[in-house]
Structure 1
């Protein structure tokens, strides 16, 4: 696989098309380019209420103060949101927040109008633990129930094939049951589908399940991580059920930009996002929401994503079988 920091051929051609002036502009110090001097748009390719949207809307006013320009958030669910960032001018005024794991999964089963590896990956707010649960209304309460169902287990997904859907497929392969997918609008809708019994299992962020667990509408099956999560300390981890190696197949709340974003502008965005983590408003947001906050904004971030992408692609045959 190409390194994520490489330009696409198209991006390189576009950069050279303007001749010497274009090249010079791309390499001038950021201060000389006066970046940012225009509003920045954060495109979220998920519905409102999703963790991606929540993180984006919390960081926007903090970034606005740090960068000195308006920062707005726009929800554009699905491939259209990703494509909007991919096709934007690579000047730093359009960025996105989304999960690349699910996008790599989708690229295995259907062609995409963009290459996931070619985005400029700025970093992440968090790589969050997912919680896979079973729907009480669908008559599922345990791994044993899933294995004994004698029919494909319906797993909630969104945007085509989410990271949680890949996790469902992996769990089914390891524990002996087949998966079919039910598409929804986003993570909150996966949770509601489980409550209604429209799906048998679903895997989204831990906090989205808390109230439904308390009401008895869903039963937690496994925390998708090698270690247990303190928010649901009694729920087994992947290590507890014998498959710790699948912990890399997690969700990343990643920040990305169009292919070909100049390195100096990427650095300004990384520095601002890192500084935002120290803002009292951001700290209160994380603390009050009991949210994951293992942030990383660095040039090396793309290297770690390459490993996650490799883990997903290694399961291409299984993902294709489950999705089709």
Structure 2
């Protein structure tokens, strides 16, 4: 009802525009005006330092463009030379490694295993030439006979050495028997390695690979060896053997001790002859059970010859020489 109490015909009130509440609020506010604002207040710099934001410690550095510098010809040549030297050192190192592996393969032989015979020290200048292992390479049914052949070869070498000593003792008593001493040295040097290569290794290979050709080669050579054992046991004078004849001749002389030594050697030669004959018969009986034959030996020999690189090279050279000769003859 207050609206009806006002007098519409009363004197109008003089409106003051500055009496507006929004204006009076701004004029009476504590906010400093623009002309009174001081950008440098009189406060302590410690407070500002406390509220100062530290600089960024990012690990990334701004990219800096380096000026492009062309290398000089001397620097380029030096770098190329250093690269060539490095490559040459690398090639020499690889070549040395290949040589070392090739020597290892050669020392292992065709079996691919390291040779172990003769059993020499590692620092010895001469390396083993053969690989030998009865339990690995020889079948069980042949191992006993093969070992007996090996022991016979060693027994023969010992007998030849004792024969040398006996002939030396005989030579000291009578200078006329210097021929026997010289021949005894020759027999030791000749028969020891030749018997190993000519009849022991063939029978070892025959038992290992069941090779008919190796069996036939062994029979031929070992039969000759049996004959040689018999001749050595007989002891023909001036043949370099302390057999029975030479031993009894020395025993009938003045020095009985030399005669006794030579009789001992004659007994050893006789034992070699008997054992060799027995082993020859045993090997022959085993050979017959293996099914080997002369035709099979011929086939193995022909295959071995035709696959031999030396034979192939010689055949190729002979064929080329014949072809060149025929061509020149036609011209």
TM class by shorter chain equals: under 0.3
Question: Taking CA–CA contacts closer than 8 Å with sequence separation of 6 or more, which of the two structures ends up with the larger relative contact order?
Answer: 1
Please, what TM-score do these two structures have when normalized by structure 1? 0.18
- Structure with higher Rg: it is 2
| Higher share of residues assigned strand | 1
Please, what TM-score do these two structures have when normalized by structure 2? 0.18
| Higher share of residues assigned helix | 2
